[in-house]
Amino acid sequence: MSKIGKQRARTMLNKWRAKFWLMQLDDLLHAYVKKCSNADTQSKHDLLFIPIDDLDTEHWLLAVISSPASLLSCNGFADSKATQQCRIFTLDSLGSRNSSTRAMLKKYLREEINDKYGFQCKCKISDEDVKIPKQPNAVDCGIYLLCTANAILD
C-alpha cells in the first residue's frame, strides 16, 4: 500500500472510531461525547457502558458507570431519587490499572451535569478497577470487552 493509501486508511479508521464512544483520553472528551447524550443519559439509566479504545496502545477496555443519577440527587436536583452513590468501574482484560481513565470519566460526568443541568457537581464519585479474566494474547481485547458487558447484563 502506498504512503497516501495508508494515510487515507488511517484517517478513515479514525473517523470511524470517532462515531462510536471511543475516546482518546484528553481534554476533548466531553466535546466528543456530549453529542451522543442528552439530559436523560444520566438521570434515567442505572448503568452506563462505555467502550474505550486507548489509541496509544490500540487496546479496548470497558468502563461502567453505576448510579449516575445519584449525581443529581446529591446536588439537590428534585427529579432524581437515586439512593446509591455513583461509581466508576474499569474492566480491562490486560489487567492494567486505569486510574487516569477513571479520572477522565469523573471529569466528564461533572462537565456533563454542568452542561445539561447548569450546576457544578460536588458529589463524591468512587472508582475502582475490577479484575476480569485476562486475554491470552494481544488481539482479543474487543471480544473480552463484549463478553464482559454481556456477563454484566446477564
Tens of pLDDT, residues 18-72: 444 444 445 555 565 666 666 666 667 788 888 988 777 889 999 999 988 888 8
Give CA–CA dist 76/96, Å, rounded: 36
Domain parsing of the chain, residue ranges: 22-153
Question: 1-5, 98-102, 138-142: which has the minimum mean pLDDT?
Answer: 1-5
The overall average pLDDT reported for the chain is 77
Residue 113 predicted with pLDDT over 70? yes
Give CA–CA dist 76/72, Å, rounded: 6
What CATH number was assigned to the domain covering residues 22-153?
3.40.395.10
Tell me the pTM.
Answer: 0.73
With helix as H, strand as E and coil as C, how does the chain read?
CCHHHHHHHHHHHHHHHHHCCCCCCCCCHHHHHHHHCCCHHHHCCCEEEEEEEECCCCEEEEEEEECCCHHHHCCCCCCCCCCCCCEEEEECCCCCCCHHHHHHHHHHHHHHHHHHHCCCCCCCCEEEEECCCCCCCCCCHHHHHHHHHHHHHC
Looking at residues 112-135, what average pLDDT do you find? 88
